[in-house]
Every structure is written in C-alpha cells, then in structure tokens.
Structure 1
Amino acid sequence: MTIPATNSATNSATNPPTNPPPNAATPARPLRADAARNRALLLAAAADEFAEHGMEASVADIARRAGVGKGTVFRHFPTKDDLIAAIVLDRVEDLRTIGERLLTAEDPGAALLEFLIAAGHQRQQRDLSFLVTAGELKPEAQQAQAALFGTIEDLVTRAREHGAVRADVTGTDVFLLMCAPNYVSGYVPNADPDLWRRYLAIIFDGLRPEGAHALPQPAPTL
C-alpha cells in the first residue's frame, strides 16, 4: 500500500530527524591544548628528520625527537603521507597569508622581495621543498600548493606590470627559485645562518629588468 505524500510530510514536520544526513558537514572539534602541543612538536620533529634523512626517516625516530610515543604519531597522522601533507599545509598556509597581504602593497617590487625573504628562512625553505620533492601530494596539500602558486603568480604579475621584474619572468620561475638560496648555502660547511640572504639578493637582481638578456628557454609549466 502506498503511503500518501501528505502523511510523510506531516510525520517529517512533527518528528524531525535527530541525526544529520550522511553527507552533512560536521564541524571539526578543536584540539585540546596537550594534543595541539603534541601535533606542533611532531610537525617540527618530522620536518627535521625528513631534512636530515630524507623521506625514509622512520616514525620511531620522529616520535623520539618529538618526545612522544609512536602511538601519538599515528593518532595524529595515520600514515607518513598524512604527516608530509600536514607539514606542507602548515607552512604553505602561513606563507600564502603573507603573500595575500602583500598583494595590496604600494610597491609591487618590494612586495615580491619581502615575500621571498619570508619564504627564505631556513626552516621555511626546507619545509617548502616538500612541494617539489615529496612526489604525489595528498589532495588537500595539492590544493594548498595551487593556492600558493596562484598568490605567487599574482605577486609576480603586479611586479612585472610595474617594471620591477623583467618581462619574461613568470610565477613558475619564482616558485622554483624560492628554495634555491637555502639549497645553495647548504653546500657550505658551518655556513652563517643568514648566508641564504646573499644568494637571494643575487637571484632577485637576476629578476630585475636592468641589463637583462633574453632567456634561452621558456619557463616550464607545473
């Protein structure tokens, strides 16, 4: 027997469902203070381990460095890919926020340089290198990467339109050069922590239009 639609609607109105539909979004619970602290310790320890030992760094060593048990690692990050994605997201979101603020700066050339300086600190550059060395990123990290790349494109476009950088420089060029200063200074034993600033200055001078020569190859696409 078919139940009339009016009865179904009346029943729904008088007895609304107590559970949300399966696809309804539920707000994430904020982490407790101790859990948030452990998560921050794990991200910092993991970044250090990956920098020193590459992607083969063990979860046990990461946990030991953070001063927590392996179980704590897996409660926050079920897989190593989850941990890498979290490092990328953490750093990229901070840098993207800086970039978005600089998009309204009065001097687009100075804004682009300030952005590169913000990206240039040793930990920041090392962690951002995951964007180009970690292989296939998780979807949320890919989205963060795309958003950061869009911000960089906008910064470079403004600087280019104002004549602060050469006309053939692209956002992709700048994205790939962000980690270069730290990478180069990493070859110097016991280098001064600020040595990367020297190489950033050389790179940025290369971006300027003064004395520029035609580049032998087009910019790559990512």
Structure 2
Amino acid sequence: MRADALRTRKRLLDAAAEMFAEHGAEVSVAEIAERAGIGKGTVFRHFATKEDLIAAIVGGLLDDLIAAAVARCGATDPTAALREFMTYGVDRLADNQALCDVASGSVRHPDVQAGVARLGEAAQALVDRACVRADVTGRDVVLLMTGVYQAAAPLRDVEPELWRRYLGLLFVGLLDPTNPCAE
C-alpha cells in the first residue's frame, strides 16, 4: 500500500474508533468520513461495508477482553478473579459505546460474532471456577457487564463511577449463597 494510502487508512481508523467509542455502532459512514477528512467513497475503498469497519475497530477490543479473562483463569481465588474481570470489562465498556453494542449482540458481522462467542467462552471458564449460582453462564456475564454500564450511563457525566456500585450489587446476586466460598 502506498504511503499516502496508509496515512489515509490510519486517519480513517482513528476517526472510526473515536466515533464508534463516542456514539456506538449506529454512527454513519458519512460522519466518520467527515471526521477523517476523507470522502465516503474512500471509506468503502478500504472497507467494503460499515460492518467490516466496525469489525476492524472492535476486534482488538474484544481480544483485549478475552485476554483479560484468560489471564485470570488460574487465579487462586476464582470468585475474585471473576469480579476483577467484570470490573475490567465494564471499565472498558464505559470508554466505548461500540464495544457495548458489540457485546450485546447488535452487530452481526461474522468476525464480531465469533469474537463475542470467544469472549463468552473465556468468561465461562471463569464462571466454571467461581462460587456463583449454578445457572450463571459466561454469556450472562458478558451481557450483564453491558447492562451494568447501560444502567449507569445516563448519570455518567455526574457520577462517572456509579457503574462500580451497580456492579457490586449485581455481583452479590451472582454468588451462590449455599456455597461457603461465596461469602
């Protein structure tokens, strides 16, 4: 790829990452192109569809969340590890609306869906070791993380850390009260 094309692609990816983080997956290609200082046609020369662009942006974010889950799988306190993962995940979601959209399943790109499935599997590995209710799944954890963020989002400007309180309340509900390690 030519040097000028590489610079254009970088501007496009940077603009898309910012726009998706701020406004979610619903942001238009025209808005992204405008922020990047390029035409819509240029966007489509680099990415055949808007979903391909979203996949390029959020793929790394999903990989980061998966790595965070995997890194905690061998923890000596698996319940604390699950809580740490969920805290890390909601913190990442709070910085990126598109990641919320993706984690909740609203983006149908095959690469994104595969990434979300891998994230659910990584979360399941944590759930399997933690002292949580038997009906909790990795997919539940991923969706609940987005729910915690969405519940606190309306007050984000006044109480940016409110999601932490909500996550604490939610986590208590995930614990298995019959298991002594959940105390």
* TM-score normalized by the length of structure 2: 0.79
Rounded to whole Å, the distance in 1 between the matches of 2:37 and 2:77 is: 45
Bigger radius of gyration: 1
Q: Of residues 123, 142, 147 in structure 1, which corresponds to 2:113?
A: 142
Rounded to whole Å, the distance in 2 between the matches of 1:66 and 1:203 is: 39
Q: Of residues 44, 56, 61 in structure 1, which corresponds to 2:17?
A: 44
Q: Of residues 74, 92, 101 in structure 2, which corresponds to 1:129?
A: 101
Contact kept, 8 Å, 1:152 with 1:175, in 2: the verdict is yes
Q: By how many angstroms is 1:111 displaced?
A: 0.8
Matched, 1:154 2:121: no
**Higher RCO, 1 or 2 (CA under 8 Å, sep at least 6)?**
2
The 1:68–1:106 alpha-carbon spacing in structure 2 relative to 1, beyond 3 Å, is farther
Q: Which deviations, in whole Å up to 9, do the C-alpha atoms of 1:156-191 show, x marking residues without a partner?
A: 0011xxxx2223322232122011121011233733
Count of residues in Structure 1 that have an aligned counterpart in Structure 2? 173
Rounded to whole Å, the distance in 1 between the matches of 2:164 and 2:97 is: 12
Rounded to whole Å, the distance in 1 between the matches of 2:9 and 2:32 is: 17
Rounded to whole Å, the distance in 2 between the matches of 1:204 and 1:36 is: 41
Q: Which deviations, in whole Å up to 9, do the C-alpha atoms of 1:184-212 show, x marking residues without a partner?
A: 11233733221111111111111112389
* 1:88 alignment partner in structure 2: 58
* 1:77 alignment partner in structure 2: 47
Contiguous gaps of at least 5 residues in structure 1: 1-31, 213-222
Matched, 1:170 2:137: yes
Contact kept, 8 Å, 1:156 with 1:171, in 2: the verdict is yes
Contact kept, 8 Å, 2:69 with 2:85, in 1: the verdict is yes
Q: Secondary structure at the match of 2:48?
A: coil
* Between structures 1 and 2, the one with greater helix share: 2
Q: By how many angstroms is 1:85 displaced?
A: 2.0
Q: Which deviations, in whole Å up to 9, do the C-alpha atoms of 1:4-30 show, x marking residues without a partner?
A: xxxxxxxxxxxxxxxxxxxxxxxxxxx
Identity of aligned residues (%): 40
Q: What amino acid is the match of 1:85?
A: A
CA-atom RMSD in angstroms: 2.6
